[in-house]
Structure 1
């Protein structure tokens, strides 16, 4: 079974599909790479993520033409090179369009590219008042650093006996396993090959042959479990994870995967909790285990203190995890009444990912409900709707905020938009009726209130307790 080493993949986002393929290969044997797709929040937090690269055990570098022209990728490597003996932790994998780095001519091409990029940044800086150029000054420094090391870096890479991606794949990623130093790397490579077989029946045959050859190892059971889960054979998956755990009780990956399975679809939350805790005892820095355990404790145990603890532990290890900031903010607001801290975490989430619709919407609700800051709430609802314009609930919530701002025509338009998206949205009809009270159009109020209560009869009692609808309390529509 895979060790608990801290492994990164460095790559250009333009090569994401290929990296997904590599990532999915290694998941089959319990190896999880840290990569920006799931471990980085958003572009403006990338520098913090890059500094974490320096602390990794091994770095798998997927080199392409796009990679060598990416400011982020080159800065990531610059960070990594600041560590002693970095070359012993670096495994480059070359894509076909980066073959030219093996030649002096190709290396010169990339050196000139970065010299030009640095010159353009410097020229732009010279046009700006230094008092207004803090970010651009830092950008110039980064590109100058890249210029200074790119030649040495390319020469070093070209001298390494590094595989191309096609060569690596043909060997079932054996060079990666050998480089990182996993025990039984040959067996793991064979299991990776089995995992890549399209036919489930053929996989079963190959796994039987594997067990005849090596015995029923923990890795064997883990692969059986993974394949079974992929095919929705959950009982078989559970059995095999259990067997893997018996053989190798110190594998945090087995406990982690088993915990996920026990929670869904088996709904065995006590056992799921137990296995998350075992995974964390083995590897206290397994932040996805902290995160999943926090969700489990919050949703199924009402253990809000425990959930808060594990959300915070996740953020200690990975402070740029947008979803954790969002979940923690909701927890703090709903169960601790700590609205200031909740607001702080929503804002941190948006700093990481300014395009997260849910966070904008959640922050807007908090601002409206607990800070009475309707203008700022309106801003965040509108931002959320720019990102997700087909969310009827956000349109309805925006309408409520506009009502509080006495912007009744705009509120009515927002409710109508919510109803256009979801004609059976009872609360939107109810709110539309309420908003029309301000226009003194009682016929429309009655029409919309009747529609709301037809869809959701429980709203009759809500209306009877609502002073705004007092004149309709004895009306037939509320009986």
Structure 2
């Protein structure tokens, strides 16, 4: 059998022929001898470049190009939290909250101590009406932020407490925003929300201060007429009917068919005096209100109340029927129908109407008072 010998190497062959090439040049700094930069280093460089391009595109106000760049950064590094955060912020700015929260959620899964991401996640949950998850996320943000003085964070917390009806906490959060940043971009919206909160708390003077502060520059989509309406309503709660009428008239000067203002003015005249003239004026306003918006059950109900005060029972019955047709589950409407039937001596019908009211709300005191 023939003997097989190992094949000579290329170096051995070249040495044998006396053609030894010079040694290769040394590798660049930072690169290990014998091979090029590892692929993860290239990916990191690509990520950094695309992040820079995205940031620059945002400065140039071309968000679509920025989004594309951040997506390329995420392709280079699927765990790039800066890219995820940038995409989430762009989506949040577009009010695409459902999509944005996916990126912020991915960040906190990678880094549970990222307070900024928790805050943004809380805001997205809030805007998608997931209040419990918003509360949990905001709690995590407050725990993990070293210095939680982000006005947007406290703004979101204020809205959350407002939605829950926790007005004291909401007031505290909104006040914190204005303390941190008096020129906050949503300052006028905060003053409007504080005005509503103070009205709910019967702090009428503070409520008026807030509304009057923003009446000439209301937060969108609200208009000056919306703010004057609130001012009128606060004066009405204070029993300052003349000031309330003046504020409501400011609205009608600009929008003569403003259904809610016509409703409020009608009820004001009804409350202010029992004279026939005052009740007649109230009816005029309320008839104009239902003409402007005939789907508002409250306007029909108040119109019925005014007709009752003038003992115009057929017209009162018709107005009450219109109210019930639009909101058949309102116990107050059925109670008033019971009063009407009682006044015209239809006692069995009155009892039926009262029974309906009680079934809808067993604790409605007006019914039990009328039944005594």
TM-score by length of 2: 0.62
Q: How does 1:270-281 map to 2 (within 5 A)?
A: 270-274=135-139, 277=142
Residues 453-474 of structure 1: per-residue CA shift (max 9 Å, x gap) = 33334344331686x8861473
| Alpha carbons 2:215, 2:224 under 8 Å: kept | yes
CA distance change for structure 1 residues 294 and 228 in 2, over 3 Å: closer, same or farther?
closer
What secondary structure is seen at the aligned counterpart in 1 of 2:295?
Answer: coil
* 1:417 corresponding residue in structure 2: 288
**Residues in 1 aligned to 2:344 and 2:59: alpha-carbon distance in whole angstroms:** 69
Q: How does 1:91-102 map to 2 (within 5 A)?
A: none
| Alpha carbons 1:258, 1:275 under 8 Å: kept | no
CA distance change for structure 1 residues 361 and 465 in 2, over 3 Å: closer, same or farther?
farther
Aligned length: 284
What secondary structure is seen at the aligned counterpart in 2 of 1:409?
Answer: helix
| Alpha carbons 1:426, 1:456 under 8 Å: kept | yes
* 2:214 corresponding residue in structure 1: 349
Report the alpha carbon displacement of residue 276 of structure 1 after superposing the two structures with TM: 5.6
Q: How does 1:260-275 map to 2 (within 5 A)?
A: 260-265=123-128, 267=130, 268-274=133-139
Q: How does 1:191-202 map to 2 (within 5 A)?
A: 195-197=63-65
| Alpha carbons 2:215, 2:227 under 8 Å: kept | yes
Q: How does 1:198-237 map to 2 (within 5 A)?
A: 203=68, 207=70, 209-211=72-74, 216-226=79-89, 230=94, 232=96, 234=98, 237=100
What secondary structure is seen at the aligned counterpart in 2 of 1:424?
Answer: coil
Report the alpha carbon displacement of residue 318 of structure 1 after superposing the two structures with TM: 2.3
* 1:89 corresponding residue in structure 2: none
Report the alpha carbon displacement of residue 394 of structure 1 after superposing the two structures with TM: 2.7
Report the alpha carbon displacement of residue 404 of structure 1 after superposing the two structures with TM: 2.7
CA distance change for structure 1 residues 241 and 389 in 2, over 3 Å: closer, same or farther?
farther
Residue 156 (structure 2) aligned to one of 256, 279, 292 = 292
* 2:303 corresponding residue in structure 1: 432
Report the alpha carbon displacement of residue 405 of structure 1 after superposing the two structures with TM: 3.6
Report the alpha carbon displacement of residue 269 of structure 1 after superposing the two structures with TM: 2.8
Residues 9-48 of structure 1: per-residue CA shift (max 9 Å, x gap) = xxxxxxxxxxxxxxxxxxxxxxxxxxxxxxxxxxxxxxxx
Q: How does 1:324-473 map to 2 (within 5 A)?
A: 324-334=190-200, 336-350=201-215, 353=218, 356-369=224-237, 371-387=238-254, 391-406=258-273, 407-457=278-328, 458-463=331-336, 471-472=343-344
CA RMSD, aligned part only? 3.8
What secondary structure is seen at the aligned counterpart in 2 of 1:423?
Answer: coil
CA distance change for structure 1 residues 440 and 330 in 2, over 3 Å: closer, same or farther?
same
Report the alpha carbon displacement of residue 443 of structure 1 after superposing the two structures with TM: 3.0
CA distance change for structure 1 residues 409 and 207 in 2, over 3 Å: closer, same or farther?
same
What secondary structure is seen at the aligned counterpart in 1 of 2:283?
Answer: helix
Report the alpha carbon displacement of residue 237 of structure 1 after superposing the two structures with TM: 3.1
| Alpha carbons 1:399, 1:414 under 8 Å: kept | yes
* 1:312 corresponding residue in structure 2: 175
Report the alpha carbon displacement of residue 283 of structure 1 after superposing the two structures with TM: 4.9
* 1:170 corresponding residue in structure 2: none
Report the alpha carbon displacement of residue 187 of structure 1 after superposing the two structures with TM: 5.1
**Residues in 2 aligned to 1:403 and 1:217: alpha-carbon distance in whole angstroms:** 65
CA distance change for structure 1 residues 430 and 191 in 2, over 3 Å: closer, same or farther?
closer
CA distance change for structure 1 residues 211 and 453 in 2, over 3 Å: closer, same or farther?
closer
**Residues in 1 aligned to 2:119 and 2:322: alpha-carbon distance in whole angstroms:** 49
**Residues in 2 aligned to 1:436 and 1:276: alpha-carbon distance in whole angstroms:** 56
TM-score by length of 1: 0.50
Report the alpha carbon displacement of residue 367 of structure 1 after superposing the two structures with TM: 1.6
Residues 142-198 of structure 1: per-residue CA shift (max 9 Å, x gap) = xxxxxxxxxxxxxxxxxxxxxxxxxxxxxxxxxxxxxxxxxx755522577884249
Report the alpha carbon displacement of residue 231 of structure 1 after superposing the two structures with TM: 8.9
* Structure 2 residue ranges without an equivalent (≥5): 1-50, 354-372
What secondary structure is seen at the aligned counterpart in 2 of 1:196?
Answer: helix
State which drifts further: 350-359 or 288-297: 350-359
What secondary structure is seen at the aligned counterpart in 2 of 1:295?
Answer: helix
**Residues in 1 aligned to 2:232 and 2:316: alpha-carbon distance in whole angstroms:** 27
CA distance change for structure 1 residues 385 and 287 in 2, over 3 Å: closer, same or farther?
farther
CA distance change for structure 1 residues 360 and 228 in 2, over 3 Å: closer, same or farther?
closer
**Residues in 2 aligned to 1:233 and 1:460: alpha-carbon distance in whole angstroms:** 40
Rg larger for: 2
Residues 363-387 of structure 1: per-residue CA shift (max 9 Å, x gap) = 2222212x21111111112223445
| Alpha carbons 2:251, 2:258 under 8 Å: kept | no
| Alpha carbons 1:259, 1:272 under 8 Å: kept | yes
Higher relative contact order by CA 8 Å / sep ≥ 6: 1 or 2?
Answer: 1
